[in-house]
Structure 1
Amino acid sequence: MRIFILVNVLLLNTLLLTAQTYIPLSNDTNGLYQLKRQIIKSKEAEIKSITDLKNKEALQKIYTERADDLIKALDSNCYLLRTPLNLYVNTIFNEIIKSNPSLKDRNIRLLINRDAEANALSRGDGTIEINIGLIARLNNESQLAFIICHEISHYILNHSNEDIQKTISDYQSTATKDEINSIAKSKYNQNTRLQNLLTDITLRHRKISRQHEKEADSLGFLYLSNTIYSEAEALTALDILDHIEDEQNKIQIDYSKVFNFPQYPFKSEWLDKSDMLVMVQKKTTSEILLEDSLKTHPDCKIRIVYLKASPVQPNKKIFFQNEDLFFEMKKISKYEVIEYAFYSKRLSYCIYESLKLQMEFPDDSYLVSKIGKSLNIINFAKAKHEVGLYVPLVSSSYNLNYYDLTHLIREWRSTDITNINMLFVLQYYNKFKDEEFLYTSYQVAKANNDLETSDIIHNEYLNKYPNGSYKEKFY
């Protein structure tokens, strides 16, 4: 279907509305070589310090793989490097180190991971990671300071390496080997027995892990108390982690409105939920216990109660840096979640997060362009039967709103995508005129074989940006 939407749009004598366009962060790789050398030196020191001679070879292999994986991730653009967000977070990190002299010579380094999950971690080699997905969900600087203190504490208490050593010991134990041999010899229920064995080991380690979380909370609280930051915000940070899943389910995108157009009405059968019964099946008690044990942030309520017993100093700062700067960094983090989802080809997630953020920032052409580009790529993938590269299989682990979107995209035919995408993007044509948006508009018109519209956009682009970055990419 050819849609000459621009012909009508261009006849309207309408002033362009004031619009904003997010410009993604750009990594500065100066210092990357030195960072890699630090990681390698930490690995060498860890290997040298191994005292468990029985499992030395296995430990050496794990420590080497851990360092190699981190270096590979750095080379694969999985981290932000020397950006304004790094500068902001490093200011907090430096305040923590300065206020706790015992940390000064511990060779701790802080990285910002581009992962969307609201999480942070200590790798065990002195590397602390904060995900941008977590920064995007926090409410103030002191909360972020506590989380950094918490992860530093995991490293200082050697929790990661202890977990590695305990795991190796468990799998290498006589009892485990005997059980595996017994399972291998049995005629029936091999898979069930093996799954039960792995679950038992996992639950034992989760019990240790929960104790480690309490220990890291306690020491992290102490580190925080030595800084200018408010200890009370440690409790609010844990409360946020406890309600992460609830917060994710609060925002509901109505796809029947977002993707409904007079020229191409939304069809209710696209969201047929007959195959979604798995979402509401009742779980057994053991499944619920295991699910809780495997949560990213278990026992936050208990940890809050535990920390409440710690003394809180009055009149401490919630923000050390400018308060507005924190919220700007939070906003940047939300956008960078989208940027990395697009970069890593998680296009259905990119669309989902863009639609969510568009509810907050409706005047940003960056979001519309990312949605348009993502749907265009997905459409070309459909023709090659490669949608799975960009849109995961629908899973009951998703929140219902994201489930709907993945289901929707997989239900759409190529014709549906080209028409919906063009109508979605070009409804903003009077509003946005930046380079990225115009080129995206051209691409979606071309994909829909609307040559008249694509020519109009092409000419407008060349008039506005005669030396534009996309000048040679029109086809």
Structure 2
Amino acid sequence: MSICKVCLFLFFFPFLSFAQLAKSYTPLPIQDTIPAITYTSLSKRLDVDKSQVAEPQKKVNNYIKYLYEERFKYVVSNFNDDYIITEGELTSYLQQILTNIYKSNPQLSQETMVYAFRSSIPNAFSFGDGNLAVTLGLLSRLKNDSQVAFILCHEMAHYHRKHGDKQIQALAKLNYDKELQKKLEHNNTYSYKKELIKSLELSITKHSRTYEFEADSIGLTYFLNTNYDRNAPVECMDILSKSDKGLDQNIIDFKKYFDFPDYPIKPSWLTYEKSTTWHKSEKDGEFGDSDTTHTHPNCMRRQAALKRQLQGKGAVTITSANDLFQSIVTQSTFEQITSHYHFKKYGKALFGSLLLLERYPENAYLHAMVSKCIYQLYTHQKNHEIGKVLEQPDSRFDDNYDQFLTFFQQLRLTEIASLGYFYSAGRRQIDASNEDFWHAYWLCSQLPVSKILPSKVKAEYAATFPKGKYLTNMP
């Protein structure tokens, strides 16, 4: 596709304007069941993959097929568990970039699909079955279309070089390796097996370091056939190298948001000392060790290798629609908040909402999310389950996040309830034309400190929105 055609597409692609976001945000629909057409396509691909297994040892042959079936189940579960975004601007945008790359590389058969993925971890991956994914966390960090293109080229290389299949085949052979079986007989402990597999870096979705460097190299050859900016691969490594830090390092002004005439903020809440305790662990996933730092080898080494490969290639820069790309980045940021709330990570959703309110101070969706999250913190604290939805402060966290956690972890149950109620009540005259506000206000009207009946809130909401989307959620 020519540059002109690419830009023409981008020009007509819908994007979010500042004027829209200044007042509210409408989140993308959450697809909680895999589309039937997608399930059928994945099933057919599974049948093809199994039919092509040609391992002479029968046990290994059957185990490879079993691992293909497990991969299929894993991919389906990511659809059914709401991680994969099947519709909307984010996935459409990624798919268009992918199509552009294939048109510039006619030697490749266009066998892959790409989706936006609901995770704040900055990462991208190939499932190995033709499905690629780019997380919201990575999309929100990238700077232009060219960087997105290189990320996709890298994941395409994993797929077209069959890295996932090779790992599955290696794992199957390893499972029936006679020498390994002898070792396990002498040291048949769970920890030994775990460390052995970890040392070999074999899994369905995580690639070995050797494969990462190869995907960079092969992906770069795909990338150089396009008209995207050749500085992008090196820039991507810079971004990945800094991905263990939050994008927004600003300290939240708690007094600005939680000091009310009828419920003034207590000075003791604002005292803060950096935590000296570690609470995170490997099993924490998104809140613990970053996938990026573990699945990608040293980014500076990868960057150096890319620079060597780029020597003498020159630099080509294309003109992209900045408004469109900024819209993609902004939507990715909002959707991370939506995703955190959906997956019951209410602390993360609240933290992200407060940070984003500095950019969009009158956004009703963000204000509603603040009220909803505080209500959820109250209910979980009441049930002695707040640890499930709000992390403990940790010395390894960014200062602003650690301070945020310190602020909310020290609050008593009645104090959390008061903050939720007075925050939502204070928005009554400002956000009354927004449905998300009404849902948040209704939730907070159920708090024990509330001065308004939930039934009255529901009646007002129904009068304003006779077919309101939240009416069925207000018994």
TM-score range, shorter chain: 0.7 to 0.9
Superposed CA offset, 1:234-253 (max 9, x none): 11112111111234473433
Superposed CA offset, 1:45-69 (max 9, x none): 2222223334223222211011112
Residue of structure 2 equivalent to 1:146: 150
Equivalence for 1:60: 65
Is 1:71 aligned to 2:76, yes or no?
A: yes
User: What corresponds to 2:28 in structure 1?
Assistant: 25
Structure 2 counterpart of 1:390: 389
Deviation of 1:217 (Å): 0.9
Q: Call closer, same or farther: CA 1:247–1:388 in 2, change over 3 Å.
A: closer
* Shift in Å, 1:460: 5.3
SS of residue matched to 2:324: helix
Amino acid at match of 1:233: A
Within-5 A mapping of 1:449-460: 449-452=449-452
Deviation, 1:30, is: 12
User: How big is the shift at 1:117?
Assistant: 1.4
Tell me the residue number matched to 1:5.
none
Deviation at 1:334, TM superposition (A): 0.8
Q: Which amino acid is the alignment partner of residue 121 of structure 2?
A: E
Aligned to 1:436: 436
Map 1:184-203 to 2 at 5 A.
Answer: 184=188, 194=191, 198-199=194-195, 201-203=197-199
- Does residue 426 of the first structure (1) align with residue 425 of the second (2)? yes
Q: Within 2, Cα distance between the matches of 1:344 and 1:291?
A: 18
Cα offset, 1:215, TM superposition: 1.1
Is the deviation greater in 161-170 or in 71-80?
161-170
C-alpha displacement of 1:116? 1.8
1:202 Cα shift? 2.3
Query: CA–CA distance in 2 between the matches of 1:156 and 1:273?
Result: 50
2:241 is matched with which residue? 242
Quote the offset at 1:305 in angstroms: 1.3
Match of 2:99 among 94, 103, 124: 94
Q: Which amino acid letter does the alignment assign opposite residue 142 of structure 1?
A: S
C-alpha displacement of 1:145: 0.6
- Give 1:305's aligned amino acid: A
Tell me the equivalent position of 2:306: 307
Matched, 1:124 2:118: no
User: Aligned-pair distance for 1:313?
Assistant: 4.1
| Alignment match, 2:331 | 332
1:205 and 2:201 correspond = yes
For each residue in 1:272-309, what CA deviation from the matched residue of structure 2 results, as whole angstroms up to 9, or x when unmatched? 658633489xxxxxxxxx99996243311111111112
CA contact (8 A) 1:270 1:412 kept: no
Paired residue secondary structure (1:110): strand
Are residues 1:225 and 2:230 paired? no
Structure number having the greater helix percentage: 1
Deviation at 1:175, TM superposition (A): 4.5
Q: Counterparts of 1:103-114 in structure 2 under 5 Å? A: 103-105=108-110, 107-114=111-118
1:96–1:224 contact (8 Å) kept in structure 2 = yes
Deviation at 1:89, TM superposition (A): 1.6
* 2:444 aligned partner, one-letter code: V
Shift of 1:112: 1.9
Q: 1:439 to 1:42 in 2, by over 3 A?
A: closer
Structure number with the bigger relative contact order (C-alpha 8 A, sep ≥ 6) is 1
Question: How far off is 1:256 after superposition?
Answer: 6.1
Deviation, 1:148, is: 0.5
C-alpha distance after superposition, 1:41-100 (max 9, x if no partner): 222222222233342232222110111121232233322123122222211111111111
Q: Does 1:51 align with 2:47?
A: no
The corresponding residue for 2:318 is: 317
DSSP-derived class of the 1:412 partner: coil
Give the superposition deviation at 1:455. Answer: 7.9
Is 1:349 the counterpart of 2:354? The answer is no
Give RMSD over aligned pairs.
3.4
Q: Which moved more, 1:242-251 or 1:351-360?
A: 242-251
Q: Which runs of 5+ in 1 are unaligned?
A: 1-17, 185-189, 281-289
Residue 458 of structure 1 deviates from its aligned partner by 5.8
Tell me the equivalent position of 2:38: 35
User: Against the structure 1 CA distance between its residues 398 and 452, is the aligned structure 2 distance closer, same or farther, given a 3 Å change threshold?
Assistant: same
**% same residue:** 24
> Structure 1 pair 267/164, CA: closer, same or farther in 2 (3 Å)?
farther
Deviation at 1:102, TM superposition (A): 1.9
Distance 2:179 2:405 in 1: 44
Tell me, yes or no, if the aligned pair for 1:230 and 1:313 is still in contact at 8 Å: no
Deviation at 1:375, TM superposition (A): 1.8
Kindly report which structure 2 residues correspond to 1:156-305, keeping only aligned pairs within 5 A, or say none.
156-184=160-188, 194=191, 198-199=194-195, 201-205=197-201, 209-248=208-247, 250-255=249-254, 258-261=257-260, 263-266=263-266, 268=268, 276-278=276-278, 295-305=294-304
In 1, Cα distance between equivalents of 2:299 and 2:414: 47
Q: Residue by residue, what CA displacement relative to the aligned partner does 1:344-393 show, whole Å, maximum 9, x if unpaired?
A: 21211111221222222222111111121122123223333333443356
Hey, what's the Cα distance between the residues in 1 that align with 2:186 and 2:402?
Answer: 41
After superposition, give the CA deviation of every residue in 1:434-464 in whole Å (9 maximum; x if it has no partner): 2221332243133144334868856754554
Quote the offset at 1:144 in angstroms. Answer: 0.3
1:328 corresponds to which letter in structure 2?
S
Structure 1 residues 358-367 or 309-318, which shifts more?
309-318
Say whether the 8 Å CA contact 1:249–1:400 is kept in structure 2. Answer: no
* Alpha-carbon distance in 1 for matches of 2:398, 2:132: 29
**Matched residue type, 1:34:** I
Distance 1:69 1:458 in 2: 41
Distance 1:294 1:464, change over 3 A: closer
1:342, 1:350 within 8 Å by CA — same for their partners in 2? yes
CA distance in 1, matches of 2:117, 2:304: 30
In structure 1, the residue matched to 2:11 is none
What is the identity, as a one-letter code, of the residue corresponding to 1:158? Answer: K
Deviation at 1:333, TM superposition (A): 0.9
Alpha-carbon distance between aligned partners in 1 of 2:291 and 2:140, rounded to the nearest angstrom: 24
Cα 1:450–1:23 shift into 2, 3 Å: same
- Give the aligned length: 438
